Amino acid sequence: MGRICRPSGVPRVSLRPPLLLLGLWLLSSPAAANEPVATAPAVTTSIAPAPAPGAMDRTSMERAIAGSVVAALAERFGGRAVEVKFGDLVAEPGDARQRQIRGEGGMRFAGETGWIGFRFVSRYDDFLGQAAWPELEVGVGGEGRAIPNDSLALRQLEDRVADTLQRELGIVSVRMQLDRVETTEMAGHYLGMEASGLADFGRDGSSDVRIHALYDRRDGQWLQLDYQLGPQMADPNAMPLASRDRGSP
């Protein structure tokens, strides 16, 4: 696809409603402690050695990251209680005090059995022992399976993104031309949809667009709809999408 011009005045903002509920989080090995949970030791006269400083730092980092990710997931879905499990966390060097943390995991809403995959990127401050608010992509990876695109959901996705762009950008007419759509089924009835293509604004120009959405086929509800305008990112793990529209049918 050639380089697409972006209309003037396109805002690049991220809307974030207030946190309503922290939710329930479950750490799975190895993300919780990188070792199996041990049973209570037998009584003995010897004194167990203190954990190595590096192990203590790792545990503190993992707990801080887990807390911020769970809080962000609960907030993203309007305060619904969620259960979360984590895979391995990857720490990348940052500045003198901070590290960038990448990871994957699975979440499910309270009372459900299937898991919805997610990816995240966060930063951890070694000096303060605090994790930054993470960037999330929900409905990716995990135990999902690729399926043919759902024609009804795809039409709804195009209409919804067009309506959202018209409302947020103040553009009279928006026409979507999606040339790549991939659908992943998770937990039996959730669809994670990744799409890219062109948003045509008529006289106002056009722009590349990348879309990520999470759809519940049971009630036709869009739980998440994120988009990015402008040239596509070369690194899909950068997760540059700005969350715009969530949680409405």
Contacts of 82 (CB under 8 A, 6+ apart): 23, 24, 25, 70, 73, 74, 107, 108, 109, 110
The answer to whether the CB of 85 falls within 8 A of the CB of 27 is yes
Helix, strand, coil distribution of the chain in percent, nearest 5: 20, 35, 45
Domain ranges across the chain: 54-138, 145-245
User: How far lies 181's CA from each of 17, 83, 111, 149, 155, in Å?
Assistant: 28, 29, 30, 7, 12
Q: Do domains 54-138 and 145-245 have the same CATH topology?
A: yes
Pick the CATH number of 145-245 from 1.20.1530, 3.10.450, 3.40.1130, 3.20.20: 3.10.450
pLDDT tens digit at each of 249 positions of the chain: 433 344 444 333 333 333 333 344 444 434 443 333 333 333 333 444 444 444 547 889 999 999 999 999 999 999 989 999 999 899 888 777 889 999 999 999 999 999 999 999 999 998 899 999 999 999 887 788 999 999 999 999 999 999 999 999 999 899 999 999 999 999 989 999 999 999 999 989 999 999 999 999 998 999 999 999 998 644 444 444 554 555 544
How far apart are alpha carbons 195 and 130 in whole angstroms?
34
Architecture per CATH, 54-138: Roll (3.10)
The answer to whether the CB of 125 falls within 8 A of the CB of 101 is no
